[in-house]
Structure 1
């Protein structure tokens, strides 16, 4: 199945992957830092920058705030309480518009993940080309139904979800007559162990459902997302930062510009190199045959009238004469002229 994700990008398994730089909340509430990250994502060649749309009321409950009044995790440079971090890091409504306009000006797709109906409406007003649903909301049936009614493509992350939950989410969206679904294989661990990633789930999802499948990656580095492309991943979503040492939730597990540039460049190379399921010999390889394959060549000097035997023949480069497989048709033939050793046999050598 093919899904028109944006005006310029059609998505299907094994297509050139659409690369999403997941800035999320890595802007740390700083609009200028957000713009700097957009600029770097553009330099890396990303197709899209994506943020997250939530505020102090739309995602976290009061009991959860009260349970997280301090952070002891200095490695991620957390500060204060959960409420204080959310208050500092959430993207304000006017900042959405400012960043959307900045992306339009710079020529890169803008998007964000909504966490409430109000944020879905905001993104609709911003005319995002598709909706991205976070793994945590794959079982949030009311939100799925609300988003599906806009009839835009839906990119659905599957982290933490059973196969039954994935199927139920798909059925929910389809019941709203929206069949523009793209699944993302995802492991919601930051970062996951290699043995937890299970990239073969990409193939499993392709075989289980009719929709294209991409990969939302939380691993360190670039090898895992690149490997997913060889399995047909049509979208690569990768957390992005300009500095892994910045304070915040996700900088440490994010790709920096050097890593993201490798992902973008090599994803194109891998996608192009996958080619066809048909066995094709290119014109360049056909020419290579002439130099690298072997021909039937005489081992010794032979006289006119000699009847060719197996002992008269050797096989050497170049491949411009009879091929070795044709020796059975050469044996028993009579020479029509004297021939020297190392001669490459031709049709005109025989009666």
Structure 2
């Protein structure tokens, strides 16, 4: 198998690349990444020692480049996306361009070159908030924020290429991922890096928003199962992590970082902050044998320790001039938007 991985220098993508490179039946892994704020060569690290890895610096909106790389590939796993909710509130166009048009560019090329598998990586946020119960793969898509809307649209676009043209598309939707290498704009690395420096953190509202936390390695295991054995045209929820309110997660991180609640300030809730996400994942368990293996407390402790030991990796990212104020309400658009990664 010759595999094209878009966004392979990002957080989840780089973990997946390292995993799939270990497979004996994978002859080559081509990573396509634009290396904007969330994609970094350092995330791939030792993977560059593997002769099967080929890195291409480029954008998924570059149709000629995408066509050239797709011609050389037998399968594609599509991670590349704008993914931060706060950024999407002031850069809607960038999210729609990358997440929707970028997916369409890839699907077009996959159709022309008769790709054997197209795995489109998505999120539980497309289902929207659920006050109770859990979403199955058949639930309607009810996104409430621009990021989730752009991912829901890209899911529908990708699946339309299966129904209309027969492109062997599968969609995966995971809950919130955590683990090493994640950009410090996301809550776990943001809180960890601030608390480890003795800095305060801010919590939206009363911190009652519920999220499910899944170790990135468990998500990557599920994605590989779908790549190898998924049924074309199907959606697979990848879950099995741990549910926490924002306040509960903050409490765990305070303990692991040696800080107290005097380090926490409550701020007004972010606009359209969904109260709860929840989905079931029996489908991938029953059909493909997926089972998450990482204990949350152990995985989170390892993650915090990685940030403790590697300030040289994340400290330069704190100077990102394009980022919104972390974990705070956004009052107005900014003039410059992030690009595809």
Normalised by the length of structure 1, the TM-score is: 0.30
Between 1 and 2, higher relative CO (CA 8 Å, sep ≥ 6) is seen in 2
Normalised by the length of structure 2, the TM-score is: 0.31
Structure 1 or 2, whichever has the larger Rg, is 1
